[in-house]
């Protein structure tokens, strides 16, 4: 008799009538049938649960979870300059990055995410943690013009990014990404070096673009062009570029984005909380641009909860555009799952045979799923993270019945408490 | 030795240093001290938990929980006329209202609410359920100009509302409210009759006002005035009026609201989802108007989760107004708790001696509360309902460790499933 690594029995799959069995082998969904007559090394009973693809969180700084919510109620530039950068100057180290990543990964798994795109320092620490825990990540060193603990100048950042690309280019779960921070923190020359490195290794570029009105003004002043036009003029934009935020773009820039097949990571909560504005997502989607969703770091969000991000995305754009059809639940779910995996070239984000087994099982015996009329709409509009019962990444069960299986949650919190003491005492010395 | 009904040990109270004991007797918080040397009939160990006031959900139609999410992605008027009103015409009955209320109350407790303001049909059913379960509610029959199952004309609605006021005027947890539906569904004469009835019994009036731009246009066309001016001109507005929504008001109307001490129930999620718009909440707050928060019904939200409502409220107005200081976490918490209780004249919404014991205990051993820097900010911006561990209403424990103590959750879901079948088969007959 055939044997699956994981066999899920009697599960609801949105869009399909009745209940289904899902067989998982070698990290892939290998069979979906009404009744699979086979054994599973691990068997999960569906029992009123619904299967969804897991989330791809397409923009975050996961180690900043240790700085959760600090500097609340400040706009982006004040928040960066008065709170975040001084804290990072004091604390960022391999150990900080590692412990912060662990805390962020615990939260990511508990909220249904199996892939995140990260930009920060000491990314090899994050890579190691991801491999230990069994979660996917696209990781890149932030590349800047100004010095930080990891490099003194752009050349040194690029060197560091190259070494990381070399070290992590053939891993199973983790892959390197090239991350010039933003057009306002990287000169055209730095951006060109980053692009060359990405092309050399065939990697994605991940960058913050057009996040605030102030950024647009600054770039216009410096280069006589808006950020997207500026990036285009130096040959930076192509289908391997993922731009986070993209709040402030005009019609012509959107056409450039569409034509160059640039991908967008929409971060609605961070944009709202930092008062950056509201991105024209329904318009991007209508133009056929690949839009994904990201949480941004927990310092500006203040969590890594993609379910909340979906819910806000779905409601915000209706209300802001005063059009109840501006974006629907099914589209938003696609943005948060399929589009992310597609952007990084992983065949996941759909529950179909032959796709990677990145999925979550959601408990419908919760108030938000009762009565159960439309699983996708209720997942997007109504549900809370408590409903996320089981999380599977590349066929491996990372959480079952909300119990983490590959990481010691209590130990992670214990470490977070130690950092808390140090950070609070530094903050009180600042003020 | 003194004995408390409930004694909470070693709890974090935001704004107070260290850990505290809370003694509850006769439905009230009677003592808050570092160490209370006394017994409790029930003892709750704080254990890393944080105490907050429970939520006052100041605008909902709780029985509509049985219609959760139906008609998604439609604007208000289509949603009402094509989906909700036909469904209500077919199904609304005492049994529907009762079962729907139970489902909504389960969800309300699990999301930390101990008071809700309701407007619907057969409210005596809801009153009974509230008393059985032990949750507070301000209840009122929707009063309309057009006929429904409960009345043929405004006089009959008023008669029904009067009987309900008479029957429920001296209850412990439940109180009657007079609910003319809206200026566009009630003639000036109906509104006047409702106001007279409210004044006669000393009750609050609860009404939908200025929800959509279309409503404003309609009222202007019919009465030559905007909704708030119209209500003012017929003598409807005073400090006992709670207006839900209030999305579309001009400067002068806001001055009227302020002067008349009218209260506002802000429903950010419903306004977004139905594409009604974004209410000028920071401006109302700055003017000193009492703003509360409500979820609206689960058919347009699609849940009764006040925590989500707070989170969206706090972020939305920053982003929309492009001002990170537009509204802060502490203010939003006050809107969702203290302001609601104040509006209905219940001394609750603060954790102080002498206040009613309506409070929740929140589990901080969850990712969203780690590291714990600012309990209020993290409660508002980061947390999910899973953290709500214990809910106490008027000194009675309704939930502990997320287990409901006064209602059979499974039985409530079982009934919801029966309604689901009936409603789905009616919907398929419609299309």
CA distance B75 to chain A (A): 5
Of A276, A324, A378, the CB nearest to B75: A324
Q: Token digits for A81?
A: 């300059």
Mark yes or no for CB contact B68/A110 under 8 Å. no
Q: Which helix (H) or strand (E) holds A252?
A: helix A251-260
Tokens matching residue A211 = 């996040």
Element (H, E) at B120: strand B113-120
Q: How many angstroms separate the Cα of B226 from the Cα of each of A18, B184, B189, B209?
A: 51, 11, 17, 10
pLDDT at A80 (0 to 100): 84
Closest Cβ–Cβ partner in B273, B305, B312 for A318: B273
Q: Which of B60, B73, B113 best probes binding to A when mutated, by most A CB atoms within 10 angstroms?
A: B73
A304 pLDDT band, cuts 50/70/90, is very high
Answer yes or no: do B295 and B353 share one domain.
Answer: no
> Do A90 and A27 share a structural domain?
no
Looking at A309, A343, A377, the residue that finishes a domain is A343
Are B12 and B137 part of one and the same domain? no
Confidence grade of residue A181 (pLDDT, cut at 50, 70, 90) = very high
The share of chain A scoring above pLDDT 70, in percent, equals: 100
Smallest CA-to-CA distance from A276 within A246, A315, A240, A308 is with: A246
CB atoms under 10 Å from CB of B422, counted, come to 14
A18 shares a domain with A116: no
Each residue of B379-401: pLDDT tens digit? Answer: 999 999 999 999 999 999 999 99
Tell me if chain B has a CB within 8 Å of the CB of A102: no
Would B413 be classed as within a structural domain?
A: no
Same-domain pairing of B108 and B177: yes
What was the pLDDT predicted at B47? 87
For residues B167 and B287, membership in a common domain is answered with yes
In the predicted model, is pLDDT for residue A9 greater than 90? yes
Query: What's the CATH number where B37 sits?
Result: 2.30.40.10
Whether residue A118 is found in the same domain as residue A255: yes
Q: Using a CB-CB distance cutoff of 8 angstroms, which residues of chain B are in contact with residue A328?
A: 72-73
Indicate whether A330 belongs to any domain. Answer: yes
Cβ–Cβ below 8 Å for A305 and B110: no
pLDDT > 90? residue A413:
yes
DSSP state of B295: -
Q: Flag if B272 and A316 touch (Cβ within 8 Å).
A: yes
Q: Kindly state whether residue B315 falls inside one of the protein's structural domains.
A: yes
Q: Is residue B421 part of a domain?
A: no
Same domain, yes or no: B388 and B320 = no
CB contact at 8 A, A136 and A115: yes
Among the partner-chain residues B312, B318, B365, the one whose CB lies closest to the CB of A312 is B312
Last residue of a domain, one of B292, B321, B343: B343
Mean pLDDT of the region A395-405: 98
User: What pLDDT is attached to residue A196?
Assistant: 98
Q: Confirm whether A195 is domain-assigned.
A: yes
Considering only residues B215 and A427, tell me which one the structure prediction assigns the higher pLDDT: B215
- Among chain A residues, the shortest Cα distance to B322 is held by A275
pLDDT 10s digits, A44-61: 999 889 999 999 999 999
Q: What is the pLDDT of residue B135?
A: 98
Instruction: Give ipTM to 2 decimals.
Output: 0.96
- In a domain, residue A181? The reply is yes
Query: What pLDDT, on a 0 to 100 scale, did the predictor assign at position A416?
Result: 97
Q: Are residues A15 and A35 in the same domain?
A: yes
One domain for residues A44 and A137: no
Domain boundary (B343, B373, B394) is at B343
Using an 8 Å CB-CB cutoff, list chain B residues near A73. 318, 324-325, 328-329
Please, which residues 371-430 of chain B have a Cβ atom closer than 8 Å to chain A?
371-374, 377-378, 381-386, 410, 412-413, 416-417, 419-420, 423-424
Q: Do B328 and A70 touch (CB under 8 A)?
A: no
- Kind and range of the H or E run holding B336: helix B329-336
A157-178 mean pLDDT: 97
Low-confidence ranges of chain B (pLDDT < 70): 1, 431
Window B:340-369, CB contacts with A under 8 Å:
365, 367-368
Please indicate, yes or no, if residue A348 is contained in any of the structural domains.
no
Q: How confident is the model at residue A244 (pLDDT cuts 50, 70, 90)?
A: very high
pLDDT per residue over A133-165, tens digit each? 999 999 999 999 999 989 999 999 999 999 999
What's the CA gap between A120 and A88, in Å, rounded? Answer: 11
Pick from A276, A368, A374: which is nearest to B303 by CB? A368
DSSP 8-state symbol, A83: I
The per-residue pLDDT for range B346-381, each reduced to its tens digit, is: 999 999 999 999 999 999 999 999 999 999 999 999
| CB pair distance less than 8 Å for B381 and A416 | no
Query: pLDDT at residue A85 above 90?
Result: no
Q: Is residue B325 part of a domain?
A: yes
Q: Whole domain around residue A49: which residue ranges?
A: 3-53+355-404
Phi and psi for A23 in degrees, rounded to 5?
Answer: -105, 130
pLDDT value for B79: 84
């Amino acid at each position: 008799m055939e044997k699956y690594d994981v066999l899920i029995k009697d599960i609801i799959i949105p869009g399909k009538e009745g209940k289904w069995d899902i067989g998982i082998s070698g990290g892939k969904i290998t069979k979906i049938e009404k009744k699979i007559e086979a054994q599973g090394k691990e068997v999960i009973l569906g029992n009123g649960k619904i299967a969804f693809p897991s989330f791809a969180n397409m923009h975050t700084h996961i180690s900043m979870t240790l700085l959760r919510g600090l500097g609340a109620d400040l706009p982006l530039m004040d928040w960066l300059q008065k709170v975040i950068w001084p804290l990072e100057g004091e604390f960022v180290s391999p150990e900080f990055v590692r412990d912060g990543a662990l805390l962020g990964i615990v939260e990511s798994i508990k909220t249904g995410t199996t892939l995140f795109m990260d930009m920060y320092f000491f990314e090899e620490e994050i890579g190691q943690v991801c491999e230990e825990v069994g979660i996917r990540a696209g990781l890149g060193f932030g590349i800047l013009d100004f010095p930080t603990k990891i490099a003194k100048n752009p050349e040194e950042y690029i060197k560091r990014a190259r070494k990381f690309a070399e070290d992590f280019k053939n891993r199973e779960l983790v892959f390197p990404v090239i991350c010039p921070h933003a057009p306002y923190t990287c000169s055209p020359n730095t951006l060109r070096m980053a692009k060359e490195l990405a092309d050399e290794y065939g990697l994605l570029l991940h960058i913050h673009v057009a996040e605030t009105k102030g950024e647009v003004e600054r770039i216009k002043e410096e280069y006589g062009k808006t950020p997207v036009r500026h990036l285009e003029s130096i040959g930076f934009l192509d289908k391997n570029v993922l731009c986070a935020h993209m709040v402030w773009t005009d019609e012509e820039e959107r056409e450039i984005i569409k034509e160059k097949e640039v991908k967008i990571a929409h971060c609605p909560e961070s944009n709202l909380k930092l008062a950056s504005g509201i991105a024209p997502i329904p318009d991007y989607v209508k133009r056929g641009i690949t839009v994904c969703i990201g949480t941004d770091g927990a310092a500006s969000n203040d969590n890594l909860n993609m379910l909340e991000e979906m819910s806000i995305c779905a409601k915000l754009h209706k209300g802001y555009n005063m059009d109840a059809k501006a974006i629907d639940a099914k589209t938003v779910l696609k943005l948060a799952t399929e589009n992310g995996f597609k952007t990084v070239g992983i065949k996941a984000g759909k529950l179909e045979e032959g796709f990677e087994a990145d999925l979550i099982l959601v408990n419908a015996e919760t108030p938000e799923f009762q009565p159960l009329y439309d699983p996708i709409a209720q997942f997007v509009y109504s549900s809370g993270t408590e409903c996320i019962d089981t999380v599977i990444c590349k066929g491996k069960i990372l959480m079952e019945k909300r119990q983490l299986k590959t990481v010691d949650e209590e130990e992670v919190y214990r470490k977070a408490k130690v950092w808390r003491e140090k950070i609070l005492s530094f903050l009180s010395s600042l003020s």
